[in-house]
Amino acid sequence: MQGSGSVGLVTPQTAVFDTPIALSSGVVLPHYQLVYETYGTLNAEKSNAILICHALSGHHHVAGRYKETDKAAGWWDNMVGPGKPIDTNRFFVIGLNNLGGCHGSTGPSSIDPATGKPYGSSFPLVLVRDWVETQARLADQLGIYRFAAIIGGSLGGMQALRWTISYPERVRHALVIASAPKLTAQNIAFNDVARQAILTDPDFHGGDYYAHNTVPRRGLRLARMLGHITYLSDDGMGEKFGRLLRSGEYLYGYDVEFEIESYLRYQGDKFSDYFDANTYLLMTKALDYFDPARHYDGDLTEALRQAVAKFLVVSFTSDWRFSPARSREIVKALLDARKEVSYAEIESRHGHDAFLMEDAPYINIMRAYLNRVAAEINA
């Protein structure tokens, strides 16, 4: 079942929480559930657990397949599996869908037991620190106190970083990949255009579109098209699509002419078929709000001073969403706070998406670092 580096067939599980959680917004959520998957075996000392935190549109299905016939494996199947960098022969790996998600964890599209209807516009906004809180409670249920590593790319990296501040003693290693210590004005601007596309879609109905049997598909499609531009690099797009015309000539109309248009519209259409618009809005807000230095007078070094974890920070040269400079801000703050940090700036043309790709130098660095983590917990 675990042949050729795959975790094989997997089954999601659900953790139910009946202890109310007070969110950063002030809203108290009386109960919620989180859907998650695990790969590998928790050792007797419960010291080999790794938590994978997902990005904007990610979820708990990190590796493996649900059925032999599934076309696609989990979203990080190239990184997680027996013999892979996050080696399930050595580690007990947990992927979860964050609170507010749309893949099984309680979110805007879930039924609110209090009303019998989807939460919709009444679902509270959630911050990265709230996610860390819910993840810690999930770890409690699984009997895990200290994670061997918490790993995430992009928004996932922010969760890993936040863990080291919220629960310093519970993280041995934080792997913060293609991430940033906070969003810039430009980052927020892109998010706001995406949000406005959804919010002004006539099918949005103030977030309660479920009751209208509709979906703000147009807005969500635009949001995803725009997102994709920021996930790829200018050079990477140029190499893959350039100015290629679908029919070889100008058509003088608004149907697809350039291959890049075809690609983006396809991505947007596909996404708007399955992703929940309210979750998309919520995730972009979690990104905007993330700023762990905020309660330390803007001083990231101060925020990170209490961390106990060791860090691996990874960035990709062509990532302009969260450029290497943003990762270096994290590294500098960690060094100034006298933390142990390794930093890799990886040559790649894949832009922000590089963190999901199978570039050899990236895979090798992850493997080497996680070998060290494994050695440490076995020492």
Residues making up the annotated binding site for substrate are 224, 353
Q: Would you count residue 260 as binding a copy of itself (CB under 8 A)?
A: yes
Rounded least distance, CB 48 to a copy of itself, Å: 37
d(CA 362, CA 364) in angstroms, rounded, equals: 5
Q: Which of 11, 69, 248, 254 binds a copy of itself (CB under 8 A)?
A: 254
What does the angle CA 128 – CA 125 – CA 57 come to, to the nearest 5 degrees?
A: 65
Q: What residues between 123 and 142 interact with a copy of itself by CB under 8 A?
A: 124-125
Distances (CA, A) of 213 to 113, 118, 120, 123, 286: 20, 12, 12, 18, 27
Q: Which of 265, 305, 328, 367 binds a copy of itself (CB under 8 A)?
A: 265
What does the angle CA 285 – CA 179 – CA 6 come to, to the nearest 5 degrees?
A: 105
Q: What residues between 24 and 83 interact with a copy of itself by CB under 8 A?
A: 24-27
Cβ proximity to a copy of itself, 74 vs 351, nearer residue: 351
* DSSP, residue by residue, 263-311: HHHHHHHHHHHHS-HHHHHHHHHHHHH--TTGGGTT-HHHHHTT--SEE
Locate 136 and state its tokens. Answer: 């810690």
Rounded least distance, CB 49 to a copy of itself, Å: 32
Q: End-to-end CA distance of the chain: give it in Å, rounded.
A: 29
Q: Which of 85, 268, 292, 324 binds a copy of itself (CB under 8 A)?
A: 268
Q: Would you count residue 17 as binding a copy of itself (CB under 8 A)?
A: no
Rounded least distance, CB 228 to a copy of itself, Å: 8
Q: Which of 182, 339, 349, 350 binds a copy of itself (CB under 8 A)?
A: 182
Neighbours of 300 (CB within 10 A): 22
Q: Would you count residue 200 as binding a copy of itself (CB under 8 A)?
A: yes
b/e burial code for range 143-158 (CB count within 10 A of at least 16 → b): ebebbbbbbbbbbbbb
Alpha-helical runs (H) found in the chain = 128-141, 155-166, 185-199, 217-231, 234-240, 259-274, 277-289, 300-304, 324-336, 360-378
Alpha-carbon dihedral sign for residues 112, 116, 118, 123: negative
Within its chain, how far is the Cα of 41 from the centroid? 23
Q: Would you count residue 4 as binding a copy of itself (CB under 8 A)?
A: no
Rounded least distance, CB 239 to a copy of itself, Å: 9
Site size with a copy of itself, rule: CB under 8 A = 54
Q: Would you count residue 329 as binding a copy of itself (CB under 8 A)?
A: no
Rounded least distance, CB 124 to a copy of itself, Å: 7
Q: Would you count residue 178 as binding a copy of itself (CB under 8 A)?
A: no
User: Where do contacts with a copy of itself occur on this chain (CB under 8 A)?
Assistant: 24-27, 124-125, 182-186, 188-190, 192-193, 195-197, 199-202, 218, 221-222, 225-226, 228-229, 232, 234, 237-238, 240-243, 250, 252-254, 257-258, 260-261, 264-265, 268, 281, 285, 288-289, 291
